[in-house]
Structure 1
Amino acid sequence: MTARTSKYAFSSDPAAANDENEEQEEDDEQEKKRKAKLHERFVKNLGRPDSLAEFKRKNGFVEDEAAAGEDGDEDEEEDAEPTQAKGKGKKAPVQRKGKDKLTPLQRQVVDLKRKHPDALLIVEAGYKYRLFGEDARIAAKVLAIMCIPGKYRFDEHPSEAHLDRFASASFPTHRLHVHVKRLVSAGHKVGIVRQLETAALKAAGSNKSKIFERGLTNLYTKGTYIDDEDGLVGGGPDGNGAPATGHLLCLTESYPKGAGSDEKVQIGLIAVQPGTGDIIYDDFEDGWMRSELETRLLHISPCEFLVVGEVSKATEKLVQHLSGGDDARLERAEKPKTMAAMSYSHITKFYADKLKDDGPTPSQVEASEEKGTLLDKVHKLSENATICLSAMITHLTDYGLQHVFDLTKCFQSFSARSHMLLNGNTLTSLEIYRNQTDQTENGSLFWTLNRTQTKFGQRLLRKWVGRPLLERERLDERLAAVEELKDGAGRLGVDKITSLLGKIRNDLERTLIRIYYKKCSRSELLSLLQTLQMIAQEYATVTSPDAAGFESKVINEAIASLPRIADDVLQYLNRMNAQAARADDKYGFFRDEYETEDITDHKCGIVAVEHDLNEFKATAATLLKRKQVSYVTVSEIDYLIELPQDMLKNVPASWVKISSTKKVARFHAPEVIKLIRERDQHKEALSNACDAAFTALLTEIAAQYQPFRDCIQSLALLDCLLSLASVASQPGYCKPTFSDQPGIDIKAARHPMVEQILLDAFVPNDIHLSADTTRALLITGPNMGGKSSYVRSIALVAIMAQIGSYVPAKSARLGLLDAVFTRMGAFDNMMKGESTFMVELGETADVLKQATPRSLVILDELGRGTSTHDGVAIAEAVLVDVVERIKCFTLFITHYQSLARAVEKKWGTEGVDVKNVHMRFTEDGGDDEAGGKNVTFLYEVGEGTAHRSYGLNVARLAGLPKSLLEVAGKRSGEMELEEGRRRLGYLARVLGGVLNEGNGASAGELEKLIEGVEQL
């Protein structure tokens, strides 16, 4: 009878009953007071984070971890010991030992976080991945998942002393790489912490009572994420739809001549693309505007920067500017004074160790010779480039990607002058890789030419677009190949190549490098090898370039290289079970005759255990006194013996009851438990053996990396040529021709991007420049008359021609240009602390330093950032310099009428060296209501000078208020009248002086008089 029921129980002794009731009432009053006090304490803590959890913690209660859904795995328990409660049959609440409020899992996380403070740690815990503390808050924001509040700091800060567990967020295991890609694309460094031991092997070991051992198994950033064949979609510095290159760029700088007022520095860099194995290096001197560095950064488009040591403010601002807008990561490394010597020693040891690892087989001997050649090559790198290489090897070692530097034929110098130079301004102004409107790929030159069918072909075309050729022989060969493919469209040979490329669904180049890193899955390996087999079989009969069936040397050599890998691919495929590989089944991946001894032994061990389990059924039937028993599987627990509830009397006491219902009970015999444990150990060991065998196979295939890569590069080449052939087949495109003499002669040139975007037809224009006659055009015309589109179309046609593409023109004959320089647009650079005029002149100075007689220079409205007099003076001085000193081809746009008159005065009207041209237009001859002329743009280039810019017409088209236009028109007329009167007064004075001279006028005075009359 409980205390509460005994209060109301009948008693035959009233006195005793009264005494008991009085005592009970006193107890009730004390209980009420105790509960009231507890209630007050509880209410006092309401409204605070985790107030209920704090209340229970202070009073010695601990919730069951699994029920709370918080810290730890299902198999892990807190470090807590129950204490015996006073009173019989009762247990005291579980209390934590000391002041440690962290679970074993949380302590592991804190330890790992101390080692990797800059990474978001994603921790494997049972069937899900979890993040803790500040990592959980950051991830929840990026991934749009829930974050359970708690402690955010890992340093036991007093401000979070009232909280007893970390904030956390979690997601299912199958969503790991989806979420990792999103975190990495947002610019975060992500680490994966996995269990390093399995339940079965742990149970058989000596540490079975301890927590699962965990460690950092993977580390990812934007440039090092290669665990997915597709990479990061939309990631990279060309984000927002532009093609991402995925380069990591390491740079350092020095001051060999001292830091003078011009802030010249020597910069070394190494750029690595782990997803393809490409490596770019360079060492160069740069001026205060860092234009050389900006050119390289815009070409390479790195998604991650590693800056070694301290750099100048100008370099710092440029790197911050280019990395800030696209979530590109920026990391730093120290640069001690002895860094140069340390770096040389480091890379020497790195490659020497690789050479020692090479074995005696012919292929490995050849690889060893290639690595020796590579070692000689890296030893010839400059001091700054060597420092960057050493820093990059150290950096990539943390990600397990340092082996990318083993690859031969991948080191390329950026400064090798085998291609046309397109600096940063040119890439931006001419919209080579992305447009200037929304910074996407649409509307760029790359977008216009990109009709590739494969991702590796697209990457190669991007290189072609940014690096037009300078070698006449290679250029003619590429154009001949494009012409043959264009003319052969619909024929068997061309259709065969097109069909073959269309069947390639995966990114072979990225999969191959993942094999080299040993990060490739079984299904990816099968897909790669089957694709390579298909390619090799298509051209199995081609034994030499002459048998390829084309006239082009480039096409024949590319096709002939495809079947060379057939034997290697076939012998690798013969080892695999295709069905198991497709399902990523590690246990059945190898065919029986190619399994290792370990795999066979453990498979046999599993079969033997299962045989013993079946044999035990007879023993169990005898013990239970039944004819036979069978095993059942319930809730993924197998080998259970199920018995009706009315037949349990014969069950041995040593049997373990696993589960039961109203009708049946299920048991595991000790012998079965032992055999299951033995079977599970065999399974875990078998899993490890299968992984080891697969890794060995990947290592063997990685030794054939270069032949396989050459095959894929040949496919990429064919893809690019077909893309250019598709462009060439458009109406209005012609094959350019080249001359040994410098010059630009284009008939009916059109803008390749604008004509595809505009609904109206693009108006074509001609140009003729040569070293012997006209080298420069001074272009005037009304605002919005098409001046900029005209000069851009000429430059783009020249670039397309040297890429090896057909061009949008009636005809094009060109001398090879070594560079295209542009100085277009007006903008300041607050990130660098530079005004509009400062940027304008700085870019012009760079052009004047780098241009040669074989360069094309475009200058758009130079001098408009300052006063008219200074602007005209600077513009004229620059024009004279490029024409007379540099003697390069120049397209000079201006609104300065005086500059056009100076050209006519200095070079005449015949167009020797410099010619005045203008964008043609018509006007109705009368003023409109707003005081301006009605102007119609013809977008055609005509000879001579446009004497007005018609700014009011643009103002009207822009929608300025009519009243404002009327005021502006009236003021414009007054200013023109004032200027006319001033000039007329000047001429009157000159004429008066001529008439008053008794000896007649001098030649200079007469020239001034005639010039003034012509201007009027």
Structure 2
Amino acid sequence: MASSRASVSHATQSRLKDFSCPGSSESRVSDQVIRMEVEPSDSAKAESSAQQQHSVMNSYNELVEEVKEEPIKIKQFSFSQFAKNTLIKKSSEEPGVPNRRTKTIYTPLEEQYMEIKKQHADTVLCVECGYKYRFFGEDAEIAAKELNITCHLDHNFMTASIPTHRLFVHVRRLVSQGYKVGVVKQTETTAIKASGTNKSSLFTRQLHALYTKSTLVGEDVNPLLKLGDLEQAEDVVQDSGNSYLMCVSESFDKQSKELTVGMVVVQPSIGDLMVDCFKDNVSHSELESRVLKIQPVEILVPSDLSEATERLLRNIALSSMFLHIFFSFEIGSYSLCMGLESPIICCLGPVIQYLTEFKLEKILLCSRYSLAKNENSTTGSVKGSLLWVLDHTQTPFGKRLLRKWVSQPLKSVIDIQARQEALAEILCSESSVLPSLQSLLTRLPDLERGLGSIYHKKCSTQEFYLITSTLSRLSAELQALMPAIQSQLSSALLKKLLLDTPQLLSPAHNFLKVLDEKAAKTGNKTEMFVVLTDFPVIRNRKEEIQSVLSDIMEHRREVRLVLKNPSLDYTTVSGQQVISADWVKVNSTKVVGRYHTPFIVEKHRRLQQLREQLVIDCNHEWINFLQLFGDHYYILRKAVCHLATMDCLFSLAQVAKENNYCRPEILEDKSQILIMAGKHPVITSLMGDEDQYVPNDTHLQGDGKRAMIITGPNMGGKSSYIRQVALVTVMAQLGSFVPAREASVGIVDGIYVRMGASDNISRGRSTFMEELVEASDILARATSRSLVILDELGRGTSTHDGIAIAYATLESFIRDVKCMTLFVTHYPPLCELEHLYPQNVGNYHMAFLLNEPESTSDGEEVQPEFITFLYQLIEGAAARSYGLNVARLAEIPESILRTAAFKSKELEALVNSRRLLSDAWSITNKEALLDWRKCSL
């Protein structure tokens, strides 16, 4: 069977012939399974495996080149009933063509647009026409709606337009609404066109760039590219959002009935790359948690996606994610060696091919050094989260790194202690070096995104100068601080970061010194390079221009002799001299007449051609110049990562100082969490200076009392307490100080939380089903080194079933998993586990004061009790939950409260009588029966 697709090299096939993606023994051409999920990466693992990863780069490079030749069909996957799509509806007719009429005559510009639209039917095209960009047909209607501009009929198409200098604003607005946007630019200049044979034809145009949510890289969309100096960069500095592209693959082993999911996540604008491979269950909870954690803006999925996964992605697409289906290619012959799982490799080809369309595939080559596995995390990123408390960073790249730290707690004691020592020195050192270093980080542009834009060769001269001048300045200032850093700092981490950075930044100065500052800031590429030794094309073109100018100057001397006017400068005073008949009059005033001689006409035309050719040559040399700079991308990005790390450390130190945090002790081989006078970091920050949060202690020992059963009144602070323990543990493992008087935390391999209650109608799950699915996942994943937090498990069904499920689940964690567990419940029977496992379980409750109403005589209404919360955790189980007190706080009508109080007393008496009767039936002798009667009376 003939194939139009490029074949894989024989060397690659023979070297990798045994490699294939699992899941099917059949050879498929267009039905490879791919899927999505994300877990945070462990930087320590990435560094330790760097040498191993480097050994596979040759194979990786070959993979990229072959994949770029191997076409992967990608189409837009439209979930129109769930979320706005990235692309436009496709028509059976030509894209953008209006209703057919007989013998429709199109203008040359319309025909040119239609030709480009045929190749990019899923794209909103902005077509450069002189001083504005125009939209045509359905694109114009979309632009009018989304950009709030006018749209009108012009010849055969609806049309709308925007000014050229506002392109970046409108492209971003369209992309933010989910559209794929293409920028079509003119590729000819007026003078060069006039010198050719097609003087009267239309300007040639071609697609210059494509943009989606994950590929917003380039001067057309980045406002930083329009800035001339650092003072105007403030708004850009704040733009630090993530824009991840995710590709997933899945394979199902029919024998073991295991579902394996592979994932590749890339952020082209800053060069981030993450990979993961994991086993998932029937509920796809692992996949769902990773997707929600990473929050990608675009997802690549396979054409033969399983129905369950498709439903999951449909639900997730309700947010701001946009899905693309690709028809996968034969990946079995490709490999990255080095032990990467095949589902991950199945994702690499589609990602490379997808980014190739946007000319961003090169980022995968430089990101190969950061391939890392992902790990679990527990916190979010909105206001009121742990990140909100810890984030006092001053740079956008520092903010992004801190987000990773929070979502990827460390597991290495050495790395954690290195961060702690750095924080301790920042807090206690009296050296002037640290304040100087912190001031260097203020008002920096987004160096990470800027380097990414330069690496992709999509930056303007303004951005290049801004980024390189900033890097050069930082290098010089850090170099000046080197003696003080070596003599005054003792933290190994701080010294490594600060001593390495100046050398890493040094290439920036070499590129900066060849630029003319004024020309770079104004975007004048023809005058930007100060020394032309390394740019022979530009030098030769300028010499040609100078030769023409010399001819013109010589011609002026000859004209002066002819007209006998030594001061003549291509202008004459009207009427003073008789001119030749072949001179062409340009214009005149009452006193001045302006003429072109035939020589000047010819030389002027030649001069214009050379000047426009010079612009083309300078653009070409500019791209080559950026290519040379890109060779230093990795080491410069490493330097920026060092600066981001410093920013994060200063941020954590500031939080610790403002809130009087303590340095926790980190234990590697012991499973325990001991916290003295711990506080909830978020609630404490929300309270501000009031300092009303009640501290509590926590004592969990893996080989001792590892389970705490927590009871107490509703709204008594149980949920806040267990969240507090989880957040303090996360803070300790990311290297931060913690809100406590004293803390000792053993390394946990995961924190698993089941809290809250909500159904999932779109997936056909009730509230109780959601609870049990989450509990099942935790049971399958937790180990003896985990921290498990369960809040009111079993409340979504009948009392007996709920108690039974909660009891059995908690007992499994205590007896089988043997992990540290916090279990909040309102079921008193669960407290009996303390008697069964006295060495491992403790009962606790949140303290309160009970204000009981005065006793009433028969016939009087029963009044509900009034509770005063103390928010203090104490030993022992609470007898009741006092829900009527919460009903009073919720302002339930008093009459209903009295009725509820009466009914509560009645039901409580009934339950007690049944319990007493049950006890009576179990008595077997007369003396015991008499004793029971006395007690019951």
Q: CA separation in 2, counterparts of 1:535 and 1:915?
A: 56
Pairing partner for 2:836 from 892, 906, 913: 906
Q: CA separation in 1, counterparts of 2:107 and 2:576?
A: 41
User: Cα 1:959–1:274, aligned 2, differ >3 Å: closer, same or farther?
Assistant: same
Structure 2 unaligned regions, length at least 5: 1-100, 225-237, 856-860
Residue number in structure 1 paired with 2:347 = 388
How do 1:235-246 and structure 2 match up within 5 A?
244-246=241-243
Residue number in structure 1 paired with 2:502 = 563
Pairing partner for 2:626 from 673, 680, 698: 698
Q: CA separation in 2, counterparts of 1:789 and 1:917?
A: 14
SS at 1:768 equivalent: strand
How do 1:350-389 and structure 2 match up within 5 A?
376-377=337-338, 380-389=339-348
- Kindly indicate whether the alpha-carbon contact (under 8 Å) linking 1:340 and 1:383 is maintained by their aligned counterparts in 2: no
Q: CA separation in 1, counterparts of 2:580 and 2:892?
A: 99
Report the identity percentage: 40
Q: CA separation in 1, counterparts of 2:256 and 2:191?
A: 65
Measure how far apart 1:287 and its partner are.
0.7
- Kindly indicate whether the alpha-carbon contact (under 8 Å) linking 1:606 and 1:682 is maintained by their aligned counterparts in 2: yes
Structure 1 unaligned regions, length at least 5: 1-96, 151-163, 234-240, 349-374, 435-440, 632-640
AA partner of residue 475 (structure 1): I
- Kindly indicate whether the alpha-carbon contact (under 8 Å) linking 2:811 and 2:833 is maintained by their aligned counterparts in 1: no
Please state if 1:215 is matched with 2:186: no
How do 1:832-851 and structure 2 match up within 5 A?
832-851=763-782
- Kindly indicate whether the alpha-carbon contact (under 8 Å) linking 2:525 and 2:615 is maintained by their aligned counterparts in 1: yes
**What do the CA deviations read for 1:154-185 (whole angstroms, capped 9, x no partner)?**
xxxxxxxxxx4211111100001111111112
Measure how far apart 1:989 and its partner are.
3.9
- Kindly indicate whether the alpha-carbon contact (under 8 Å) linking 2:262 and 2:276 is maintained by their aligned counterparts in 1: yes
Under a length normalisation based on structure 1, what TM-score does the superposition of the two structures give? 0.75
AA partner of residue 831 (structure 1): S
Please state if 1:254 is matched with 2:236: no
- Kindly indicate whether the alpha-carbon contact (under 8 Å) linking 2:755 and 2:790 is maintained by their aligned counterparts in 1: yes
Measure how far apart 1:259 and its partner are.
10
Measure how far apart 1:849 and its partner are.
0.7
How do 1:979-998 and structure 2 match up within 5 A?
979-991=911-923, 993-995=924-926
Q: CA separation in 2, counterparts of 1:243 and 1:974?
A: 60
Q: CA separation in 2, counterparts of 1:298 and 1:629?
A: 76
- Kindly indicate whether the alpha-carbon contact (under 8 Å) linking 1:279 and 1:410 is maintained by their aligned counterparts in 2: no
Q: CA separation in 2, counterparts of 1:267 and 1:913?
A: 37
Residue number in structure 1 paired with 2:193 = 202
Measure how far apart 1:903 and its partner are.
2.3
Q: CA separation in 1, counterparts of 2:410 and 2:536?
A: 55
Q: CA separation in 1, counterparts of 2:627 and 2:144?
A: 39
Residue number in structure 2 paired with 1:31 = none
Q: Which moved more, 1:535-544 or 1:285-294?
A: 535-544
Residue number in structure 2 paired with 1:60 = none
Q: CA separation in 2, counterparts of 1:694 and 1:751?
A: 54
**What do the CA deviations read for 1:539-596 (whole angstroms, capped 9, x no partner)?**
4368899936321111111111022146533332322222322332212211145462
Measure how far apart 1:311 and its partner are.
1.6
AA partner of residue 803 (structure 1): L
- Kindly indicate whether the alpha-carbon contact (under 8 Å) linking 1:229 and 1:507 is maintained by their aligned counterparts in 2: no
AA partner of residue 458 (structure 2): K
Residue number in structure 2 paired with 1:280 = 274
User: Cα 1:627–1:496, aligned 2, differ >3 Å: closer, same or farther?
Assistant: closer
- Kindly indicate whether the alpha-carbon contact (under 8 Å) linking 2:678 and 2:741 is maintained by their aligned counterparts in 1: yes
Residue number in structure 1 paired with 2:63 = none
- Kindly indicate whether the alpha-carbon contact (under 8 Å) linking 1:777 and 1:890 is maintained by their aligned counterparts in 2: yes
SS at 1:226 equivalent: coil
**Which structure is higher in RCO with an 8 Å CA cutoff and minimum separation 6?**
2
**What do the CA deviations read for 1:949-968 (whole angstroms, capped 9, x no partner)?**
12222122122233333333
Residue number in structure 1 paired with 2:400 = 459
Residue number in structure 1 paired with 2:36 = none
Pairing partner for 1:535 from 460, 469, 474: 474
Aligned residues: 816
Pairing partner for 1:778 from 704, 709, 713: 709
User: Cα 1:643–1:269, aligned 2, differ >3 Å: closer, same or farther?
Assistant: farther
**What do the CA deviations read for 1:775-820 (whole angstroms, capped 9, x no partner)?**
1111111111110000000110011001000000111011111110
AA partner of residue 179 (structure 1): H
**What do the CA deviations read for 1:654-703 (whole angstroms, capped 9, x no partner)?**
55555677987765444333222111111111112222222222111211
Q: CA separation in 2, counterparts of 1:99 and 1:666?
A: 50
SS at 1:721 equivalent: helix
How do 1:801-880 and structure 2 match up within 5 A?
801-880=732-811
Q: CA separation in 2, counterparts of 1:887 and 1:927?
A: 47
Please state if 1:266 is matched with 2:195: no
Q: CA separation in 2, counterparts of 1:627 and 1:478?
A: 78
Measure how far apart 1:251 and its partner are.
0.9
Q: CA separation in 2, counterparts of 1:318 and 1:642?
A: 80
Residue number in structure 1 paired with 2:18 = none
- Kindly indicate whether the alpha-carbon contact (under 8 Å) linking 1:542 and 1:548 is maintained by their aligned counterparts in 2: no
SS at 2:457 equivalent: coil
- Kindly indicate whether the alpha-carbon contact (under 8 Å) linking 1:623 and 1:651 is maintained by their aligned counterparts in 2: no
How do 1:128-147 and structure 2 match up within 5 A?
128-147=132-151
- Kindly indicate whether the alpha-carbon contact (under 8 Å) linking 2:584 and 2:596 is maintained by their aligned counterparts in 1: yes
- Kindly indicate whether the alpha-carbon contact (under 8 Å) linking 1:308 and 1:388 is maintained by their aligned counterparts in 2: no
SS at 2:449 equivalent: helix
Q: CA separation in 1, counterparts of 2:591 and 2:890?
A: 87
Measure how far apart 1:764 and its partner are.
0.7
Q: CA separation in 2, counterparts of 1:697 and 1:903?
A: 72
Pairing partner for 1:766 from 697, 708, 716: 697
User: Cα 1:543–1:666, aligned 2, differ >3 Å: closer, same or farther?
Assistant: closer
SS at 2:748 equivalent: coil
Measure how far apart 1:322 and its partner are.
2.6
Pairing partner for 1:681 from 606, 609, 612: 609
User: Cα 1:232–1:265, aligned 2, differ >3 Å: closer, same or farther?
Assistant: farther
Pairing partner for 1:510 from 445, 449, 455: 449
Pairing partner for 2:530 from 591, 615, 621: 591
Residue number in structure 2 paired with 1:497 = 437
Please state if 1:749 is matched with 2:678: yes
Larger Rg: 1
Residue number in structure 2 paired with 1:405 = 364
Residue number in structure 1 paired with 2:9 = none
AA partner of residue 484 (structure 1): E
User: Cα 1:728–1:228, aligned 2, differ >3 Å: closer, same or farther?
Assistant: farther
Q: Which moved more, 1:200-209 or 1:98-107?
A: 98-107
- Kindly indicate whether the alpha-carbon contact (under 8 Å) linking 2:505 and 2:636 is maintained by their aligned counterparts in 1: no
Q: CA separation in 2, counterparts of 1:665 and 1:832?
A: 83
CA RMSD of aligned residues (A): 3.1
Q: CA separation in 1, counterparts of 2:890 and 2:563?
A: 97
SS at 2:262 equivalent: strand
AA partner of residue 733 (structure 1): Y
AA partner of residue 727 (structure 2): L
Pairing partner for 1:322 from 303, 316, 332: 316
Measure how far apart 1:972 and its partner are.
2.4
Please state if 1:922 is matched with 2:849: yes
- Kindly indicate whether the alpha-carbon contact (under 8 Å) linking 1:606 and 1:679 is maintained by their aligned counterparts in 2: yes
Residue number in structure 1 paired with 2:61 = none
Q: CA separation in 2, counterparts of 1:265 and 1:169?
A: 50
Pairing partner for 1:191 from 174, 177, 182: 182
Residue number in structure 1 paired with 2:325 = 332
Measure how far apart 1:227 and its partner are.
1.7
Under a length normalisation based on structure 2, what TM-score does the superposition of the two structures give? 0.82
Residue number in structure 1 paired with 2:24 = none
Measure how far apart 1:129 and its partner are.
0.4
Measure how far apart 1:122 and its partner are.
0.5
Q: CA separation in 1, counterparts of 2:220 and 2:609?
A: 33
Q: CA separation in 2, counterparts of 1:975 and 1:669?
A: 113
AA partner of residue 213 (structure 2): K
Measure how far apart 1:1013 and its partner are.
7.3
SS at 1:205 equivalent: coil
- Kindly indicate whether the alpha-carbon contact (under 8 Å) linking 1:549 and 1:556 is maintained by their aligned counterparts in 2: no
**What do the CA deviations read for 1:908-928 (whole angstroms, capped 9, x no partner)?**
xxx521111111111211179
Q: CA separation in 1, counterparts of 2:505 and 2:723?
A: 47
Q: CA separation in 2, counterparts of 1:805 and 1:267?
A: 33
Measure how far apart 1:186 and its partner are.
1.7
SS at 1:407 equivalent: helix
SS at 1:782 equivalent: coil
Residue number in structure 2 paired with 1:85 = none
